[in-house]
Chains A and B, each alone.
Chain A
Amino acid sequence: MPATIETTADLSKITANEQILLQTENLTLLAEGRELLAKISLTVSAGEIVTVIGPNGSGKTTLLRALLGLIPFDSGNIIKKPKLRIGYLPQKINVDPILPLTVSRIMNLTGRYSERQIKNVLQETGVSSLKNKAAYQLSGGEFQRVMLARALLRNPELLVLDEPVQGVDYMGESELYNLIASLRNSHGCGVLMVSHDLHVVMASTDRVLCLNQHICCQGEPENVSRHPEYLKLFGIDSGNALAIYSHHHDHTHHLSGTLQKDVK
């Protein structure tokens, strides 16, 4: 049985009023007799950010792929809002330099959108200056922002993001998560994403599912980060958990590269 953390009363009230976009009931997926996903029950509502975390091979990507209908599952149910518009960002795409694609061309790969629409979404994700740049010249962060903009073109009700900060430098990670949170606010869409690091994603997520084939625990990020199942899964000694994560930096990095000691 998955251990569920008691969520606070007002959170459950909010989700009850919200429109449910996607729901699974006991979703199970087998491969060669092994359970890749075991009885996953989850709900994503409009305007809500749900983050799935788990170690490598825990089934995070498999879960997203099953939800998107890319792979068949063995038992259980997936219920989607009728005609749900999904914006999907798969795991980091590597564009080979031999493929000459500009950013604006990437935006038009499967749909046809006007110059104006493309400019607007690129502006929203802060990369409008890259419109005519070649895809392979983009940095990890720039590329993910372009892909986010591309997902917005479909006017999504639900964003499905598989490790959106992969290939992004550490400083860019939290900026990108902030961007995702602000897109949720401006578009009112739900967000279901996979992340490897709870502590970076914490500030910009409403609910966390801790996955290891089955749902180990779920709830608000602060609660999950202290949950024994979570600590066990990530090999963190529960006695030290707070000591590890509540540390402070004693210096600041400046853009020029110099370090400055923080004044206590």
Chain B
Amino acid sequence: MKTFEEKWTAWLDGQLSGRELSEFEASLPDKAAAEAEKADARKLGELLKRELSARTLTNEEFFSHQLLERIARLRSPRRRPARQAREPGSTWWTIPRLLWTGVASLAVFLVFTVLVVREKNPADESPYLTQILNARVDPVTSPNATVSIFEVKKDRITVLWTEGLQSLPADYAAK
């Protein structure tokens, strides 16, 4: 059983028909005033429908809207990682990160140490040939002796060549 308000609303919306419509209109005390109110309600509804309907966005507006929404989402605290959200006071220096940083620092240190040590090791893969800095022959026993220096670069050998040293008998070849 509909109340009067329900029937009134349905009548304003034009949803009553037939016998229900005729019975309701007969129950109205002032049908003319009711018709005027119905007309006003219809006008108001049309006005609201016309003015408040969603305006269609242009392409540019739609694109800007999308971008603004994305920026807003990124800036929103809800978008932060769940772990950060749970730990608002945590810093970058978590235990695993500290450990990894330590390992990385040690690795860099060792690499540089190895490089520096190799660089300073004098006998390691030297690019240099042996050098004769000076040479002297006893002028008393070998007054006419001379010395020359040869570098056999193919074999990476340096030769100090002497000429005119005192010759010795074969006995001197003994072990």
Do A and B belong to a common assembly?
no
Interface residues of B, Cβ cutoff 8 Å to A? none
Interface residues of A, Cβ cutoff 8 Å to B? none
